[in-house]
A and B are shown apart, each in its own frame.
Chain A
Amino acid sequence: MANMQTVFINPERCIGCRQCEFACAVAHSQSKNAALALAEDPVPKSRIHVSPGWAYNMSVPSRCRHCDPAPCEQVCPTGAMAHEETHGLVLVDVHKCIACAMCAMVCPFDAVTFHAQANGMPSRVVATKCDGCVERLDDGEEPACVEACKVDALLFGDLNTLVAAGRLQASAAVLAATTSQTPVEHPPATISGWRAWGESAAHISEEI
């Protein structure tokens, strides 16, 4: 676990383009092709979900965190939720899943949804969640959502390295707040101008 590769989410970077959702759905299609995937039955579903924030121009992507121990795994009555060894991912065995939704009830991130899936019994609705793009990892690729994210809101790498990078970012802010060091401009003016309008618009309803 210590040097585990995972997808790290940086909400400050998310601009709500939802390209991760699209790439996820295509990566979990039968054809792996955007144009053909739309015609598949069942239509592939995204396992990453971009939710809006409290104002316009704010959003955050969320996906299964592949917890260990995983609450979903602990409550699953059929053993459908289980860790795989190589990458430490929590995977759903769609053949064992009875769609009881115990996993969804205990999931701290509301990351489990229920849809028909092509691999297995397409006529049945089963637990559907991030599989960490296990097939892509086996091929030495990044998860599809990370590849699609051009603003680094989704990062793939060693957990501790990513955490350390985040700490570095925060250290600039801490130093700016506690010392006379000039704060690093973060985020850039383009983004802060864009977000400022969203916040301003959200506050208007307080006037009514």
Chain B
Amino acid sequence: MDTPDNLSKLSISNDAREMLVRAREEGIETVWDRLAAQQPQCGYCSMGVSCRNCAMGPCRVDPFGEGPQKGVCGADADIIVARNLGRTVAAGASAHSDHGRDILEVFESLAAGETSGYEIRDEAKLLALAKEWGIEAGDRSVPEVARDLADAMLEDFGSRKDKIGFLDRLPEQRRKLFDELGITPRGIDRENVEMLHRTHMGVDNDYANISLHALRTSLSDGWGGSMIATELSDVMFGTPKPIMSRVNLGALRVECVNIALHGHNPLLSDVIMQAAEDPELVALAREKGAEGINLVGLCCTGNELQMRKGLPMAGNHLMQELVLLTGALDAMVVDYQCIMPSVTDVAKCFHTEIISTADKARFAGATHVSFDPRRGFEIGKQIVALGIEAYVNRNPDRVRIPQGTMQMMAGFSVEAILEALGGTPEPLVEAIKAGKIRGAVGVVGCNNPKIPQDHGHVTLTKRLIENDILVLVTGCAAVANGKAGQMLPEAADMAGPGLSEVCKALGIPPVLHMGSCVDNTRILTLAAALANYLGVDVAQLPLAGAAPEWYSEKAVSIGAYVVASGIFTVLGVQPPIFGSQNVVKLLAADLEEVVGAKFAVEADPEEAAKLIIRHIENKREALGLPFVAADEALTDKVA
């Protein structure tokens, strides 16, 4: 299968299409070419029925039922699929939680006065967290309180506790349910290690039991590692407040040194933003012929900075190769996660310097500058200087920057949303009760070249807001919706009458940017706060989650912790579980009886919207709120 001739089918955004044309003209390979070259992809693997966990294997089970039905050890399709899914969740949860640990370790060093380029920017949040974690502030200094909080949070990574700290944010009935099911996460690292143990040959051979531990592992991410990452990033870099920003490849400026910040962790990128304002470096850029230094964001590192500082976004996951094709990017600074190994190959076709910064994430063909928080600011300056040096090698004849950017509003932390509501969730709750807002949906997750880029995010979001459903976005979904113009306050006009009225009264868009992918925990925190306010369980609320274009293991962990927390979730891309009807039945049906929520898989965002609208009206009905009968809601409102 060649890459389709009709490049416009690969992405819905014009900046991406323009660069895809260039890639085709110049013979530069992109993710879409590699996906085409991989077709057909292995059915055993995509159904989850292949196992290479031991050396008696590798094994696979014939999904047609005639060839081998068990691996050499005797594991059937149910066990193999559950083991594979469990390991996927563990990898995703580990990625988020290791990110959280990195933030926490710098926070600990900051408290000890050992860092350069970092400060406590939200002291009030620090003190609120300390209180939440049972740490007496008294008349002690801020660093002293910070040290105690760091210690308490580091304990969450170990195995000496019977539950992790942030779990107390959940309503009591949900915490009780976790205890009854035996899925209360005890320690962040512990649940991940235990998952690897359980999925070793000859340990947990019950697909349902493995799947329950997968939920527990994911909860250690959502209410553990990721939540620590979000909360401490707010303390160190500032809690986001509504801020205007811009998005798409037009954020690159032909007259400036362009440096993209790519990856997930704000630790280094925050100091790079400080360094880019350093007068000496600005002077150096001018000396080399540039008018200044222009930073742009990619993926979730970009989201972290856009949320707090309004950094313009160059794009989401599938833009990382295309941004290089502008010929105008002088340096791409990467930390970790979702950075395609191919970026160094594409960069070779241009002058772009790829600068890796995390010792745990090295790239052949990149210049490595090892990140060290003790010399944060100095390293930030060194990296910006590398970008300026690379600018000198830019070939002006090869610069092709798609014109124009779209404005978008970012910065909706839970604190910012509450502030917009006047300090209490009451107005939101009243709007939901009155039916002006039918419910809220987190549209999150990645890009995947199997779905036309951004089409899943944008179409689903559009249908939801048209139906008066408030949409909360993070990660790649935020960039997609920003590019589509759905994240401006004026986009209230795109929403249904009720949501539109509320948005206009508050001056907010109908689609709220809540941050990076670890910041999905903001959505959890908000959901828990609403449930606590109403005295109900999270599962009773008219909420849903969706990952229309997910690709990564992290997304599987997110989906699992959202469902385990009681929120129905629709996946746009099929997870590798279809080789086991029992696992499919468990996740897409029976889980409803266990945790009050389940998964659905639907590639078509129009159909996904229908599933979600039906779900939200059902939840409204169960809560005794005014509801629209499902069929009526669909025929009337969904095009």
Do B43 and A15 touch (CB < 8 A)? yes
Chain A residue, CB-CB nearest to B43: A15
Q: Mark B52-76, 1 if CB is under 8 A from A, else 0.
A: 0000000010111111100000000
Do B41 and A188 touch (CB < 8 A)? no
Do A190 and B452 touch (CB < 8 A)? no
Given contacts A53-B40, A59-B40, A194-B47, contact A188 B604 (CB under 8 A): no
Q: Identify B580's interface contact among A17, A56, A190, CB under 8 A.
A: A190
Do B42 and A18 touch (CB < 8 A)? yes
Do B40 and A204 touch (CB < 8 A)? no
B9 at the interface (CB under 8 A from A): yes
Q: Mark B548-587, 1 if CB is under 8 A from A, else 0.
A: 0000000000000000000000000110001111001000
Do A204 and B12 touch (CB < 8 A)? no
What are 7 A-to-B residue pairs whose CB atoms are below 8 Å?
A17-B44, A17-B45, A57-B43, A150-B60, A191-B63, A204-B451, A205-B452
Do B579 and A190 touch (CB < 8 A)? yes
A138 at the interface (CB under 8 A from B): no
Do A207 and B455 touch (CB < 8 A)? yes
Q: Identify B64's interface contact among A50, A57, A152, A193, CB under 8 A.
A: A152
Do B450 and A56 touch (CB < 8 A)? yes
B39 at the interface (CB under 8 A from A): yes
B638 at the interface (CB under 8 A from A): no
Chain A proximity of B17: nearest CB distance (Å):
11
- Among A51, A150, A190, A193, the most chain B Cβ lie within 10 Å of the Cβ of A190
Chain A proximity of B489: nearest CB distance (Å):
28
Q: For A51, list chain B residues within 8 Å (CB).
A: 1, 40
Q: For A208, list chain B residues within 8 Å (CB).
A: 8-9, 12, 452, 455
Interface contacts beyond A50-B40, A51-B40, A151-B62: sample of 19 additional A-B pairs, CB < 8 Å, sorted by A: A14-B40, A14-B43, A15-B44, A15-B47, A17-B44, A17-B45, A56-B39, A150-B67, A150-B68, A190-B63, A190-B584, A191-B64, A193-B584, A194-B46, A197-B574, A200-B603, A201-B450, A204-B451, A207-B455
A118 at the interface (CB under 8 A from B): no
Q: For B64, list chain A residues within 8 Å (CB).
A: 13, 151-152, 187-188, 191
- Among A189, A194, A207, the most chain B Cβ lie within 10 Å of the Cβ of A194
Q: For A191, list chain B residues within 8 Å (CB).
A: 63-64, 578
**Bound-state Cα–Cα, A113 to B66, Å:** 33
Q: For B65, list chain A residues within 8 Å (CB).
A: 188
Do B12 and A197 touch (CB < 8 A)? no
Chain B residue, CB-CB nearest to A193: B578
Do A16 and B574 touch (CB < 8 A)? no
A79 at the interface (CB under 8 A from B): no
Q: For B602, list chain A residues within 8 Å (CB).
A: 200
Task: List B residues 411-456 near A (Cβ within 8 Å).
Answer: 450-452, 455-456
* Contact-size category for A: 20 to 34
Q: Identify A197's interface contact among B8, B452, B579, B601, CB under 8 A.
A: B601
A203 at the interface (CB under 8 A from B): yes
Chain B residue, CB-CB nearest to A61: B40
Task: List B residues 144-172 near A (Cβ within 8 Å).
Answer: none
**Bound-state Cα–Cα, A52 to B8, Å:** 21
Q: For B68, list chain A residues within 8 Å (CB).
A: 150
A43 at the interface (CB under 8 A from B): no
Chain A residue, CB-CB nearest to B456: A204
Q: For B3, list chain A residues within 8 Å (CB).
A: none
Do A151 and B46 touch (CB < 8 A)? no
Q: Identify A58's interface contact among B40, B42, B574, CB under 8 A.
A: B40
B606 at the interface (CB under 8 A from A): yes
B459 at the interface (CB under 8 A from A): yes
Q: Identify A189's interface contact among B40, B581, B601, CB under 8 A.
A: B581
Q: For B605, list chain A residues within 8 Å (CB).
A: 204
Chain A residue, CB-CB nearest to B576: A194
Q: For A16, list chain B residues within 8 Å (CB).
A: 39-43
